[in-house]
Amino acid sequence: MTRDDPLLNARALVLSDLSAQGLVDPHTVSVVEDCVAGRRWWLSQWQQGASFVDGLVAQDVQDALFDEARRWPLCVDCADPVEHSLSIEPELGPDPRWVCSESGAQIAALGGLRPL
């Protein structure tokens, strides 16, 4: 992974976590590309935001999939039978992590989800 282009790094992390849940296909890859492209403009306006783009791209992809009624990533660590997802914390900050939206438990760093 490279830090030369923070957006390529963000793309790789998000694709890794999509892959862990079996969601990489041409459509989801194009969703990721769209979100990366959107944040490229954002980053050009605010370069100090470079360390935030990983978490932001992840949230953009999550929102885009949610709009298609696809929940990603699913929490698989809880005994709770009601399907629920993970959220990025911090929402705007460096070193984003996936946290269970129900229990608040920290599950993995972005890019570090275990395969299902």
Q: Which residues here bind Zn ion, judged by CB under 5 A?
A: 75, 78, 100, 102
36/41 Cα distance (integer angstroms): 9
Query: Which CB atom, from 26 or from 115, has the smaller least distance to Zn ion?
Result: 115
Residue placing its CB nearer to Zn ion in the complex, 89 or 102: 102
Q: Are 15 and 24 in contact (CB under 8 A)?
A: yes
Q: Enter the DSSP assignment of 105.
A: -
Rounded to a whole number of angstroms, the minimum distance from the CB of residue 105 to Zn ion is 7
**13 CB burial (10 A radius; 0-12, 13-18, 19+):** buried
Min separation Cβ 12 and Zn ion, Å: 25
Q: Please say which residue, 43 or 86, places its beta carbon nearer to Zn ion.
A: 86
